[in-house]
Structure formats: C-alpha cells, structure tokens
Chain A
Amino acid sequence: SITGACRAIQKLTRVRVVDNSALGNTSYHRPPKCIHVYNKTGVGKVGDTILLAIKGEKKKALIVGHKMPGPNMTPRFDSNNVVLIEDNGNPIGTRIKTPIPYILRQREGEFSKVLAIARNFV
C-alpha cells in the first residue's frame, strides 16, 4: 500500500525555524530536519514537541504551523514553522515575527514563554 504525502511534520521533514535565535538563523550546508516526534503517532501537528537536528546538534522545538490543512477555522501555513526550545520549555530566541495560531493559547501553561515572545497571532 502507498501512503499519501503527509504534510504535517514527521521524521526527516525539513522545517523552518521562525524565531530570531542564532542557531536557527545562521546558514549551514544542511537544512534543519526533524528526527523524532514526541507523540504516540509519529506525526506532529501544531503544539507538538519534536527533536531537531540543526548544525550538527540535537535541539527540541515546538511546531507552530504546518502545511497540512487542519480543522476548519484554523490557519494553514505555507511552510512548516518551528520555534527552538530548551528541555524545560524556555524558548531560545527572543522574538517571533511570523504569525502564530491562536490555538496555542489553549495550553497557556506549557507555552506561556513562547506565547510571550510572539508578536503576531492569526
């Protein structure tokens, strides 16, 4: 059987880091790729944590938008966006210019620091 293209985030998807951290913005000869999704299914949607391989290091990240259409009334982005995060949940960057979906506000407890540095909401 052939599975269709999964436009959410799974292992080996190339992602785009949207915060202004040094690790996310310096160029490297390989794009940042997902190597693990912290989820029962290996498919990451908005609000899931993933493990990213950037510049030869492993870093955790939070998914803030993907190309896959979700439930109605939720935004669908043109690129798979991700925010770099520490193990305790603190974001590494200090500003997020790209729009973030309002759905993340539901889990205000875990993502409060990420939501605090976000500028635009959609």
Chain B
Amino acid sequence: SCRISSDGKPATFQPPPKPVIIDKQKQGLQRRFLSPEFIPPRGRTDPLKFFIERRDMIQRRKVFNIPEFYVGHILAVTTANPYASEKASRFVGICIQRGGKGLGATFVLRNVIEDQGVEICYELYSPRIQAIEVLKLEKRLDDNLMYLRDALPEYSTFDVNMKPVSHLEHEEIPVNKLQVRMKPKPWSKRWERPKYNIKGIKFELPEEKMKEAQKWSKPWLEFDMLREYDTSKIEEKIWREVSEALKK
C-alpha cells in the first residue's frame, strides 16, 4: 500500500539529497612538481634561449604526456625502432640518473636481462619515444643510483612484464630506504668516499677503510657561498609559466 501524504495524494519517491564530499586532501597541497630540466643552469647565457626552449618543451608535452618521475622509479618506455618487430621496442628499467637541461634532458634506465646488465640513456623530448609508463613509484635515498652497477645483480633485476603498481594521486611518493649490498671491490667508483655522499649502500668494509675514506672529505664545501645557486624564485616563476601554458 502506498503512503498517502497529508494532502491525500500518493507521494512520489524523492531520492535523498546527494552528499557533498569535501576531499580535504585535495584542497591541501596539490603536489607542485617541476621537472628538473626546466630549471636553467647557472651561467651567462641569454634567458631568451631558455624561454624559447621552454616553449618547445611545453609544446611537446601538450602532444605527448611525460609523467612525473624521479630517480628510483621503475619505468617502461616504448620507442619507435625501424629495426624492431612491429616497429616499436619496449624497455623496462629503474631510472638511475636524470641529466641534461632543456630539450636535451636524458634519463638512464637500467635492468638485468638474462644475467646481462643493460642500461639505455633515453632523451625525454625525442620524437622517437611513443610512451612512458611509470610502473612503480618509489624514491630512493640518493638521486644518483650509478652504484647499482657495482651492486649485486638482484637489486637491478625487474620483471619485464610487471604490472603497474597503483598509486593514489595526492599521497606522498614513498621513499624506499633500501640499503644495497655490493659486489666485492674493486668498484667502478670509490662509492665510500664522502664526495658521492651515498646513503643507500650497506658498506661492509672494515672500520679502517671507512675512516681512510673520510680523509677525502671537504667539510668547507657546504659553506662555500660562491657555489650556492638558489633556484626557489626561478622555480616559482617557471612553475607558474609552465602550468598556465599546459592548462590552455
């Protein structure tokens, strides 16, 4: 039996009002990430050159999406290759280094395939790149993972067919505090020296070797004022310029 309202007419179903969800996380810090190759290097070049380069970089980003990634992320890159089957080749690896400024920005991916370590240096803005997918988001303790070449191969092996690990949009990128175990010395570089300032290696060297390595420390470098390059204001300006241009 249908309900009869006070008027005497049968009441039609009124759905409840939709709840308004205020996502406080989203309202908070929207992560502002400016890719490091936008920041111009310190020098006496005309800023016009960097402005024109930034325009070309933004143009490329409008056509092709370059995701936000840091050193330590696991990426899969598909490039156009005339000599590959189906004209495209896919490479999965951990990003060990991001270098270069402007349109020549590069990143190096490393993986171990069939017990053979392979590294490929890709150019971010090369038209040959067809897709960049981030498979796993995680930062490491250092921003240069070149020591993975001298670490045990298990730390550089990543499954080629791994599925992308899901990541929430507005959370912090997790930092993996993994301490990597190394192969026996000799290494390609003396990673224990304070010049490299590496925190991600579990040094199993004797105490005397670690003390001897500290002989090469230069504690005056952090107080050297001529070496300071404060990029905060430049970054603000460029971030505003880039985000406005990309929204159009």
Residues of A within 8 A of B (CB): 18, 65, 69, 72-79, 81, 97-99, 102-103, 105-106, 120-122
Alpha-carbon gap, A106 to B123, bound state (A): 22
Smallest beta-carbon distance A47→chain B, Å: 12
For A97, the chain B residues whose CB sits under 8 A away are 114
Interface range for B = 20 to 34
Pair A121/B84 contact, Cβ less than 8 Å: yes
Instruction: Give A74's nearest chain B residue, CB to CB.
Output: B120
Pair B81/A76 contact, Cβ less than 8 Å: no
Alpha-carbon gap, A65 to B79, bound state (A): 20
Pair B114/A78 contact, Cβ less than 8 Å: no
| Across the A-B interface, the 10 shortest Cβ-Cβ residue pairs | A78-B117, A105-B83, A102-B83, A98-B116, A76-B119, A75-B118, A75-B120, A99-B113, A97-B114, A72-B121
Pair B116/A73 contact, Cβ less than 8 Å: no
B50 at the interface (CB under 8 A from A): no
Extra A-B contacts (12), CB below 8 Å, given A73-B120, A103-B83: A65-B116, A72-B106, A73-B122, A73-B126, A75-B120, A76-B119, A76-B120, A78-B149, A79-B117, A98-B113, A99-B116, A121-B89
Return 21 A-B CB contacts under 8 Å, by A number.
Answer: A73-B121, A73-B122, A73-B126, A75-B120, A76-B119, A77-B118, A78-B116, A78-B118, A79-B116, A79-B117, A98-B115, A99-B113, A99-B116, A102-B84, A102-B89, A105-B84, A106-B83, A120-B114, A121-B84, A122-B89, A122-B120
Q: Fill in one digit per residue for B110-146: 1 if any A CB lies within 8 Å of its CB, else 0.
A: 0001111111111100101000000000000000000
B158 at the interface (CB under 8 A from A): no
Alpha-carbon gap, A117 to B143, bound state (A): 39
Smallest beta-carbon distance B216→chain A, Å: 21
Q: Of residues B79, B116, B120, B149, which shows the largest number of chain A Cβ atoms within 10 Å of its Cβ? A: B116
